[in-house]
Structure 1
């Protein structure tokens, strides 16, 4: 799976799929999540009130369709809470229209992962006027009016990526002044992407300054659109004279594009980072084509968001639901949100099994088509 500036860490064992700061697919289908679009409506009778969930797209990450939508549906259904889960398919007008319809239908809480902060802030103002509580999910809308935010420590995600690349370069005995290309996510639309970059640059900038490494280029994959990744990296690589020693890729989808280009240039084996711990990224890691990814346990994120929404619907204290919220400052809106920020986790070839143990993916899913590689790595 995209992507800003200010973080507070809330202790928790977490990591997620996406897969991602990050960085990412988003959506649900008919009466159950599908890969296409539409809505998921869950009947519930245990509590008075309904929650509306709007996810941003199905292109920036596979997580929204595969994980967020079904996990949220189950969490609300198990609690007897009615839910309407829809995906805007990257269309900002559609996102706003869905929100207006949900508000008109009387939802008590909106849980939104916005395509961009301006669209999200606009929806939040409409919700506030109607007395609807809003939770920013995964991405915070700077300048908005939501009172709550549920995500991961996204600057921490970036720090793991930066340190991961450093570790990989050391393992390959990279020479002093080794050249690095940074492939940022959608910093033009997503604050998480800004935070990821802030995190890995906090690790790498001192090493650039002392000559340990050299930053060859820092490119942006605008809008987190995967189709922009290969051309952007190709241009950066060409500008660097066709040579690179390591690549920061903001998520696994960008990493996949980078790896494809590297192979075409006979540069296989150059360390590449990622994020989301999705099937593709983990397969690249097991095959030695990607050196690390960051696991953000979407189940923990979805469960935390659902617990918070349910508490708001019932009018109970979120702390009573076992949630520990911290202050999160929005510098653009000059306001403070209550935030649940979960802890990400580094994944390398040595601990891919942890993703399976967490229940995020099965060995069969990860190993499809690379069974012999998995067997050699002890994945089961």
Structure 2
């Protein structure tokens, strides 16, 4: 399910992530089918970004481009069958453009192909769906994995070459997860002593990651590893809880998504880094591509790269850059861009924030 990407990026969009936009009404916005409707299907709501940022930014951008356009939004809550029903209902309504962040990229192939034959354009968002998609908007996911690997090495410092690492990888149904894993291995292999345990975690489950970490500690003891790679911040929360339960401190843990609880763990010292992906440029680009496809306009100015899935090559794509966030650069990244408010970040962590000049 790994997408092979040929990047031809000419420059990332330098749009900073502002404070969350106002809520956009009910979950399922009133829409009419046809030429003025755009479908938006997101995979789940456990990750805070989807409801707080992606949905709102995409809806707001489409509204600014097209006063008469309507967004028909649904969230699958990690259920493949639910997303299939949502997708097919949009097609039945006559919606001609759908922004799709698939729960299971492979499972989506049959729906996407069937819709394409009816003239429906699918914009794969954040995760590359299989099938005849019209465009893809995401991040350079192998590079994100390399950043995560570099974060682990930096946290281990001079001890890296003699350190053993546990790897908790992303969901096997997410096409981005193998890219993160591949990128991380490219950096870690040969630079740490050994990856002593590795597991793909279904549905990015924090509870499953906590259990796997706890089981490993029970089997190998607190001295059986020196750092933990976590593919995202949600799983890192479970890993951190397992370490705390076992009384283990000062073990580097890395994540991804720059969620508020993870940023608070950075301040508290129980997580070493996260990966910050500005949602606004990704979401706004997807919205504009969808609008252009709806109106039959060229998307070439917005797609400076290409991507391949298993069934189609040369998919027009835009792939954005991400960056590591550590306690030392939080002020100049997520705080500066308004991705997190200092009062929320520092709630219950006043002394720690003061030491990091986060006041």
TM-score w.r.t. structure 1 length?
A: 0.85
- Could you report, residue by residue, the CA deviation over 1:274-300 in whole angstroms, capped at 9, with x for unpaired residues? 100010111111111111110011111
Unaligned runs of 5+ in 2: 18-22
Q: Distance in 2 between matches of 1:282 and 1:7?
A: 30
Tell me the CA shift for residue 48 of structure 1.
4.7
Tell me the CA shift for residue 14 of structure 1.
7.0
Candidates 202, 210, 227, aligned match of 2:207: 227
**Residues 35-74 of structure 1 aligned to structure 2 (within 5 Å):** 38-41=27-30, 48-59=35-46, 61-74=47-60
Maintained 8 Å contact 2:40/2:73: yes
Quote the residue 1:21 is aligned against.
none
Quote the residue 2:98 is aligned against.
110
Quote the residue 2:79 is aligned against.
91
Task: Provide closer, same or farther for how the CA distance between residues 161 and 356 of structure 1 changes in structure 2, counting only shifts above 3 A.
Answer: same
Tell me the CA shift for residue 67 of structure 1.
1.1
Maintained 8 Å contact 1:14/1:343: no
Maintained 8 Å contact 1:168/1:291: yes
Tell me the CA shift for residue 12 of structure 1.
1.0
Tell me the CA shift for residue 105 of structure 1.
1.7
Task: Provide closer, same or farther for how the CA distance between residues 89 and 182 of structure 1 changes in structure 2, counting only shifts above 3 A.
Answer: same
Pair 1:272-2:272 in alignment: no
- Could you report, residue by residue, the CA deviation over 1:141-196 in whole angstroms, capped at 9, with x for unpaired residues? 23x110211101111110000001001100xx42642111011111x201101100
Q: Distance in 1 between matches of 2:207 and 2:13?
A: 33
Q: Distance in 2 between matches of 1:329 and 1:199?
A: 17
Decide which moves more: 364-373 or 241-250: 364-373
Tell me the CA shift for residue 52 of structure 1.
0.3
Quote the residue 2:149 is aligned against.
162
Maintained 8 Å contact 2:306/2:316: yes
Quote the residue 2:293 is aligned against.
312
Quote the residue 2:20 is aligned against.
none
Q: Distance in 1 between matches of 2:219 and 2:124?
A: 39
Candidates 287, 299, 305, aligned match of 1:326: 305
Quote the residue 1:295 is aligned against.
276
Unaligned runs of 5+ in 1: 18-28
Q: Distance in 1 between matches of 2:256 and 2:15?
A: 10
Tell me the CA shift for residue 129 of structure 1.
2.3
Quote the residue 1:365 is aligned against.
344
SS at match of 1:57: coil
